[in-house]
């Protein structure tokens, strides 16, 4: 089982995700991000905006 923190996945906190595969971890991260979005968590909203900016450019993603 692998563990990664929210920050390691582009988020804003030290919340831990535990999963056997990256796909499972990505799903957990997505669910958590939606919870933080719904809660209006400012730090996570800023991290999401930053991630969206990076996704606009394939060069930035590397």
pLDDT for 7 beyond 90? yes
In this structure, of 9-13, 21-25, 37-41, 52-56, the range with the lowest mean pLDDT score is 52-56
* Residue 59: C-alpha distances to residues 50, 54, 62 (Å): 15, 8, 5
Residue 62: strand, helix, or coil: coil
Token digits of residue 42: 């400012």
pTM of the model: 0.80
- 10 Å CB burial of residue 54 (0-12, 13-18, 19+) is middle
Query: Domain map of the chain by residue range?
Result: 2-61
Residue given tokens 């804003």 in the structure block: 12
Q: How many CB atoms lie within 10 A of CB 6?
A: 21
pLDDT value of residue 60: 58
């Amino acid at each position: 089982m692998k563990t990664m923190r929210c920050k390691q996945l582009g988020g804003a906190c030290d919340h831990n995700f535990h999963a056997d595969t990256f796909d499972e971890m990505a799903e957990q991260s997505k669910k958590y991000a939606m919870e933080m979005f719904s809660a209006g968590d400012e730090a996570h909203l800023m991290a999401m905006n930053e991630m969206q900016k990076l996704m606009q450019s394939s060069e930035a993603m590397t």
